[in-house]
Chain A
Amino acid sequence: MTTLLEDEAVPAVGPALAPVIATSGLTKRFRSGQVAVDHIDLVVPRGAVYGFLGPNGSGKTTTIRMLLGLIRPTEGTVDLLGESMPDNSASALARVGALVEGPAFHPYLSGRSNLARLDRMDVTADPKTHDARIDEALRRVGLTAAAGKRFRQYSLGMKQRLGIAAALVQPRELLVLDEPTNGLDPQGTREVRHLVRELSAEGLSVLVSSHLLAEVEQICSHVGIMSKGSLLVQGTLDDLRGGATTLLTVTTRDTDLAAATLRKLGLADVAVAASDEVRATIGEVEPERVTVALVKAGVAVRGLAVSRPALEDLFVELTGEGFDVAR
């Protein structure tokens, strides 16, 4: 009995917990002299859903291309599933499914034929399960009905789904999905999020890139934020959010009285934001104490909200600029 408990208490430490992706000083300088990726140390732990975020042009896709061995780093190293890239690409890539910079298939072949071609080109694919695996991948992305249609007749959303299906035909350890929700409507975006959650629950590690922070924020366990070729910050989502200041918003007509009360409680950055709104940084003060204090002071409170900042606010805080435009 005791031994059993002890066994359970020992965490499973071993090679299985080594990161699925680890880069060191990864840099890409293009022939034009432009530094697209500048000394980044990306670490994707095994089992993570890693949101690789940043505006368009911040170096995400160039990084992903280096991870997959499509382009050679100018400096630095890439370790993908324990293999050094791009030199040992074959044994690593057999365990990685990838969607890179949008789906690309032969326009005159059907969706199914396109997947079949890729699977036949994969030297590790089992020809006996070829059809069944392709059917299953198409089903998972909801393309069963459109499988026989030519790729050129697919809508943008269907193309995107086929791209994801291509990454699922073979059993994988790691999925690299570059902007998987591009071109999808809100319903399609929800479906992709659901699929990523499902795959993660099955034990896959996932790197998902996006320039839309809010879109992937909900599914990520880890986040890395890129800007102008640098990895500004990475870690678990909770750590990143925890490091950021928590905002208090009080809705009331008694703005001056409310502001004075908040100052007295020791809240920082107290400001009257509108004729009926006061904002402050709540810091270590418990929200319950704030509520009691406001009521005791006779402030007629209409609403009170404590908001942790969204990733987008975090990005603005880190870079001091808006997210939408890459410069």
Chain B
Amino acid sequence: MSLAEPLTRTLAIPRPRRGAFGRQVRAELRLVFGRRRNQILLAALGAIPLAIGIAVKVSPPGGDGGGGPMFINRITDSGLFLVLTALFVMLNLFLPVVVGIIAADSVAGEAQAGTLRYLLTLPVRRGRLLVMKAVGIAVYALASVGTIAVVAAVAGISLFGTGSFTLLGGQTVSAGEGMLRILGVALYVWLSLFGLLAVGLLISTLTEVPMAAMAGTLGFAVLSLVLDSIPQLHAIHGVLISHYWQQFGTLMRVGPDFASLGDHLLLQLVYVVIAGGLAWARFSDADVTS
């Protein structure tokens, strides 16, 4: 009975499947981490603490107050301090660059490649896509901080040993506690990048040129650092995205100033809410002509 067959194909409206969000996130991470450029970037991030460690080994800093970045004088006492020196060096420039690059790829890069229009012709809500992109950047930032910390810890311990881990007040603690405190620092550094991550995502939704998005995000971070260095602008320092970045040193004291760290994380949250909200408002309604 060929007449009984339908002339045209109709489908029941397909429903989202269980575990779809997890698959989407994994697909996004595969894209970010599968890209050769991003793998090289991670390798480069790992090379820097290695270079600092070797430099300190070859030419140990003499005595106290020999200049150079924070904690560099203590590396010879305990290799674990290499992690702190490395994170201190990376936070003001390299890590913002990393966030800028990955954020630029996330939306502007897909727009430039034209792949954004194909993502948006799938049954994917735009808000969900933006969340996925944010997760991709955040996980890459975590991988960056993790790479720096792990390479620095391994290099530091093998070059200088764990030695005696002395806090800033002169108290000596066990290597285990030192390790724990350093883990806290790494976590703090990672969370410190969240405000910039949201700003980067916002800028990425505003352009189809990834280079411009990258420059915009980095420019935002640099502007914040510059304004923060001008004492006459003291009044606004408290709201600058980078103001508390270097506060992690307090975790190296006997009684860390948790209130100050909390203020900072709250400030990051404010940036995430404002910039993320603007990004969503822009992206959810934008004409995609790329």
What residues make up the interface of A, taking CB atoms closer than 8 Å to B? 8, 12, 16, 46-47, 65, 68-72, 89-91, 93-96, 98, 100-102, 104-109, 113, 116-118, 120-127, 166, 171-173, 202-205
Contacts and interface: CB of A to CB of B under 8 A. Distances in A.
A122 B285 contact: no
A124 B123 CA distance: 7
Interface stretch (B30-38, B93-101, B181-189, B233-241): B30-38
B229 interface: no
B8 A205 contact: yes
Interface residues of B, number: 40
A204 B9 contact: yes
Interface of A is mostly: loop
A323 B65 CA distance: 79
B57 interface: no
A202 B10 CA distance: 11
B259 interface: no
Given A70-B287, A95-B14, A100 B124 contact: no
Contacts of A95: 11, 13-14
A90 B124 contact: yes
Contacts of B7: 12, 47, 203
A65 B288 contact: yes
Given A124-B15, A173-B11, A106 B31 contact: yes
B163 interface: no
A104 B118 CA distance: 8
Nearest to B124: A121
Interface stretch (B20-28, B212-220, B247-255, B273-281): B20-28
Nearest to B13: A91
B115 interface: yes
B24 A123 contact: yes
Contacts of B121: 68-70, 93, 96, 98, 100
Contacts of B13: 91, 94-95
A107 B124 CA distance: 22
Interface of B: 3, 6-11, 13-17, 19-21, 23-24, 26-27, 30-31, 34-36, 113-115, 117-125, 285, 287-289
Contact of B36 (A100, A102, A108, A118): A108
B31 A117 contact: yes
A296 B34 CA distance: 80
17 contacts: A16-B10, A71-B287, A94-B123, A100-B118, A105-B118, A109-B34, A116-B27, A118-B118, A120-B23, A120-B26, A121-B119, A123-B17, A123-B123, A124-B17, A173-B9, A203-B7, A205-B9
Contacts of A100: 117-118, 121
Contacts, number: 125
Given A106-B115, A204-B9, 20 more contacts: A16-B6, A16-B8, A16-B10, A70-B117, A95-B11, A104-B118, A106-B31, A107-B113, A117-B31, A121-B119, A123-B16, A123-B20, A124-B20, A124-B123, A125-B20, A127-B23, A173-B8, A203-B7, A203-B8, A205-B8
Interface centre among B17, B121, B285 (most CB of A within 10 A): B121
Interface centre among A90, A91, A127, A202 (most CB of B within 10 A): A90
A34 B276 CA distance: 32
Contact of A71 (B26, B30, B35, B289): B289
A120 B35 contact: no
A65 B289 CA distance: 8
Contacts of B10: 16, 46, 173
B116 to A, nearest CB: 8
Contacts of A16: 6, 8, 10
Contacts of A202: 9
B8 A91 contact: no
A-B pairs, 5 with minimum CB distance:
A104-B114, A203-B9, A120-B27, A124-B14, A71-B287
Nearest to B27: A120
A28 B121 CA distance: 19
Contacts of B287: 65, 70-72
B22 to A, nearest CB: 10
Contacts of B114: 101-102, 104
A220 B251 CA distance: 71
Given A121-B27, A126-B17, A93 B123 contact: yes
A94 B14 contact: yes
Nearest to B1: A8
A102 B26 CA distance: 27
Contacts of B16: 123-124
Contact of B24 (A46, A101, A113, A120): A120
